[in-house]
Structure 1
C-alpha cells in the first residue's frame, strides 16, 4: 500500500484504539474485584459499567483492525507476506518479554509479598528459571510471562492460519462482503455467539495460548472478518450508511445485556445466560460496526498528526503497561488520594511513552526494530511499519 492509497481512517482508528488501552489498563488499577497485576487502595466498583462497556469489544476490534491491515498488504506472495510479518512481530515480542515486561512481575510479586525487593536479584531468578511461590505474579507457574504482549503471540498464530487457509477464506469472502442492512448488523455476531455457548465456560480466557479455545475462536473470527472487510469499498460504504442504526441498536443491546448481566454471571450457566450471551455478542458486533462506520465517515483524511501516530502506536503499546504498573507500584503506598494518584499514573504513563519513543526509540537505529519500527528513521513509513502490519 503506497502513501497515496493509505486508509487514513484505519491509521487513525488504530492509534485511537491502542491509546484506549492506556486509559483502560490504568482504570484496572482502580477497579474493585477485577483481576489485574496491581491494585490501589482507592479501588472502586463505580468503574464496573464503563469498563464492561469497553471490555466487550476493545480486543475484538483490535484483531479486526489487524485483519484489515493484513488484507491491505497481501499483494505479496503468501510466503513473502508471512516472512515479513514474522520479522515485524517476533523481534518486538522477544525483546519486550526480555527487557520491558520483567518489571511487571517484579512489582506484582513484591506488592503481593511473595517476591523479595531488589530488582537485580529478581532478574537473576527470572532469567534463571527460578521456582516462584504460588500466585507470586501472573505466569508464576511458568517462571516468566508475556503479560499484555499476548496479543503479538496470538496475532502471529492467526497470521499463520490466514496464510495457510487463504485460498479457502478467499472463496468464503462473498458470504461476508455480500451482507447488507440488518444482516450485516446481526449475522456476524452468530459465530461468536456459538463460541460463547460452546467454549466460554469450558475454556475460560487465559491468554496462555495453549487450550485458550474460547479466546482463539473469538479473536481469530474477528481477525478473519477484518481480512474479509479489507478494501471492500461497498462494505465500508454500507457500514458508514448504517452508522446511526448501529449506534442506537448497540446502545439498546448494551442496556439489555446489562439487565441480564446483573442477574447472572459470565462464568455460570443460568437461565439468564440465554439472554446475556446473545446480547453480549450482539452488542460487541454493533459496537464494532458503529466505530468502523463513524471512523470511515469522519477520519478518512490526512490529519497532520497521523504520520507521528503511525510510528508511535507500536512503541506505546509495548511500553504502556510496564509504565502503568511501575508508577502504581511507586505511587500507591504514598496514599495521594483518589484523584491525584490515578491522574499521576495516567499522566506519567503518557510521559514515559512519549519521551521514550521520541527521545530514545525513534533515534536509535538498532532499537527501532525492537519496537516494530523500520531500522532507518528517515525511511518512508508504509503500511508495514509498526501496527500498520497488524
Structure 2
C-alpha cells in the first residue's frame, strides 16, 4: 500500500487547501493512509470548473463577464448537470483532507494550541496570500475586458489598473465596494474556504468525538443521508430566496449554510471510515438516483411536468417536495462521485501528483485566460468551433505555463500558494 499523509513524510498539495482506514484499524494506521482518490477528484473537479467557465461564454441567457456572439440554449442542460454539485465537491474534498491533517495533530506530542496555530498560519500563507495576489494582479484583466467589451470603459489598461488598485478612485463609484473596484471574482472559493477552515479548526475537538463512538447506527448510510438531506432541504427552503448567492462573503448566508454543511459532512465521513466504505458500496444506487433526479429537473425546465411554477407559489408541501428533489440530487451526485472514486481512482501516479501540485495556480489564472482569450478571439475567428478550440488551448496551455514558471521561483511559489521548500532552482 502506498504510504502518504505520514508524519515525517513529504506532504501533498492536497493539504494546502485542506485517510481512509479499515473499520478496525488503529489510530496510527489511519494516520499512515491516504485518500489517494481525493487528489484525483480535486484535479477532475478543477478541470470541470475550467470547462464550465468556458461554457459560460457560450451558454444562452446566463450572464457572465463576456459573452460570445453565438450562444447555445442546450448548453444549459449540460451545465446544470454539474452546477448542482461542482463547488460542493471542492469544499467536501478540502474538508476531508483538512480533517486528516487535524486528526494527525491529536496523535502527536505537539501542544494542540501550537499545532492549531501552525495549521492556521499555513492556511493564511496558502489561501489568503494567493487570494490577495489574485485580486491585485490576476483578476484585474477580467474586469478590464468585461467593462471594455460592454462599452462602458474606454481607457488603456494601465490607467484602469491604477484606478482598480486605488481604494479612493472616482472611477465607477456605483460599482465599488468598501475596498473600491478591487474584487475577487472567481477566487471567491478561497476566502470562503479560509473562513470555513477556521470554524472547522475550532469545532474539530468536538466533532472528532464522533470517531470515538462505537455504534453501527452512526455508520448507517441511510440514516446519515436522511439527516443530511433534511438539513439541506431546510436550508434550501429558508435561505435560498431570502439570501440569493452573491459570493461577497458578508451577506451570502444561503451559500454559507450550504457549503459549511458540506464541510461538516466531509469531516464526519473521514472520522467514520465504515460510513465512507458504505458510500463506495452504494455507488450504483447513488448514481441511479442522481441520474433520475437530474432527469426530473431537466424535464421540469422544459415545462414537461405541468404547472409546477404555480404549485411552487401556492403549495408548501410541493415546495418541500421540490426542495427534497433538488437536495437529494445534490447529495446523490456527491455520493456517487465519492463511491466511484474510491473504487477506481485510488492508485497514485506521477501524472496525478504533478497535476495535483498545480491545482491552485491552474485555478487562480484559468478564468482570466478564458476571458482575455475569448475577448480577442471572438472577433478574429470565423468559426465558433475554432474559437472554442482556441480558447480551450490558450486556457490549459496558459495554466500549465503559469505553473511551470511559478514553481521555479521562490517569490512566485509564495504568491501562488505552493510549498516553499524543495523548489527547483531556476536556470
- Residue 18 of structure 2: aligned partner: none
The offset of 1:183, in angstroms, is: 3.0
Larger Rg: 2
Which residue in 1 is equivalent to 2:87? 59
Alignment partner of 1:277 out of 309, 320, 323: 323
For residue 142 of structure 2, the aligned residue among 76, 100, 104 is 104
Per-residue CA shift, 1:30-50, capped at 9, x if unaligned? 011112111001111110111
Q: CA deviation at 1:376?
A: 3.2
Q: 2:394 aligns with which of 322, 344, 348?
A: 348
Q: Is the 8 A contact 2:293 2:325 kept in 1?
A: yes
Give TM-score, length-normalised by structure 2: 0.82
Match of 2:65 in 1: 37
Q: Give the CA RMSD over aligned residues.
A: 2.4
Does residue 26 in structure 1 map to residue 54 in structure 2? yes
Offset of 1:64 from its aligned partner? 0.6
Cross-structure match for 2:355: 309
Residue of structure 1 in register with 2:417 after alignment: 372
Q: Is structure 2 residue 250 aligned with structure 1 residue 205?
A: no
Quickly say closer, same or farther: Cα 1:279–1:262, change in 2 above 3 A: farther
Tell me if structure 2 keeps the 8 A contact 1:149–1:318.
yes
CA distances 1:270-324 after superposition (whole Å, capped 9, x unpaired)? 6464443221110000000000000001011112312201211111011101110
Contact 2:125 2:414 in 1 (8 A): no
Counterpart contact for 1:31–1:48, Cα < 8 Å = yes
C-alpha distance 314-117 of structure 1, shift in aligned 2 (>3 A) = same
The 3-state SS of whatever aligns with 2:378 is helix
Matched residue, 1:223 = 263
Which of 338, 344, 364 is residue 292 of structure 1 equivalent to?
338
Q: Whole-Å Cα distance in 1 between the matches of residues 58 and 280 of structure 2? A: 36
Which residue of the other structure, out of 363, 374, 385, is the alignment partner of 1:328?
A: 374
Secondary structure, in 3 states, of the residue corresponding to 1:16? helix
Task: Choose 291-300 or 185-194, whichever is displaced more.
Answer: 185-194
Partner of 2:195: 157
What secondary structure sits across from 2:346 in the alignment?
coil
Match of 1:192 among 228, 232, 251: 232
CA–CA separation in structure 1 for the residues paired with 2:71 and 2:178? 24
Which residue pairs with 2:279 in the alignment? 239
Secondary structure of 1:149's counterpart equals helix
- Rounded Cα–Cα distance in structure 1 between residues aligned with 2:184 and 2:216: 34
Q: Deviations over 1:60-101 (max 9, x none)?
A: 111011100101111233333222212221111111111111
Quote the Cα distance in structure 2 between the aligned partners of 1:176 and 1:257: 34
Is 1:167 equivalent to 2:205 in the alignment? yes
Q: 1:133 aligns to what? A: 172
Contact 2:410 2:423 in 1 (8 A): no
Q: Are 2:166 and 2:180, in contact at CA under 8 Å, matched by a contact in 1?
A: no
Native 8 Å contact 2:360 2:416 kept in 1? yes
Q: Is the 8 A contact 1:257 1:276 kept in 2?
A: no
Match for residue 11 of structure 1?
39
8 Å CA contact retained: 1:203, 1:212 = yes
Give the C-alpha shift of residue 201 in structure 1: 0.4
Contact 2:135 2:183 survives alignment (8 Å): yes
Q: Identify if the C-alpha distance between structure 1 residues 24 and 48 changes in structure 2 by more than 3 Å, giving closer, same or farther.
A: same
What whole-Å deviation, never above 9, does each CA across 1:304-352 have from its counterpart, x for those lacking one?
A: 3122012111110111011101101111122532211111111110010
Task: Give TM-score, length-normalised by structure 1.
Answer: 0.89
* Greater shift in the superposed pair: 75-84 or 11-20: 75-84
Match of 1:362 in 2: 407
Contact 2:125 2:417 in 1 (8 A): no
Q: Secondary structure at the match of 1:230?
A: helix
**CA–CA distance in 1 between the matches of 2:182 and 2:40?**
34
Higher relative contact order by CA 8 Å / sep ≥ 6: 1 or 2?
1
What is the CA–CA distance in structure 2 between the aligned matches of 1:261 and 1:169, rounded to whole Å?
39
- Whether the 8 Å CA contact 1:67–1:223 is kept in 2: the answer is yes
Distance change (3 Å), C-alpha of 1:191 and 1:377: same
Counterpart for residue 388 of structure 1:
none
Tell me which of 218, 231, 234 is aligned to 1:178: 218
| Structure 2 CA distance for partners of 1:118 and 1:54, relative to 1, 3 Å | same
**Retained in 2: the 8 A contact 1:30–1:43?**
yes
Show structure 1 runs of 5+ residues with no match.
380-390
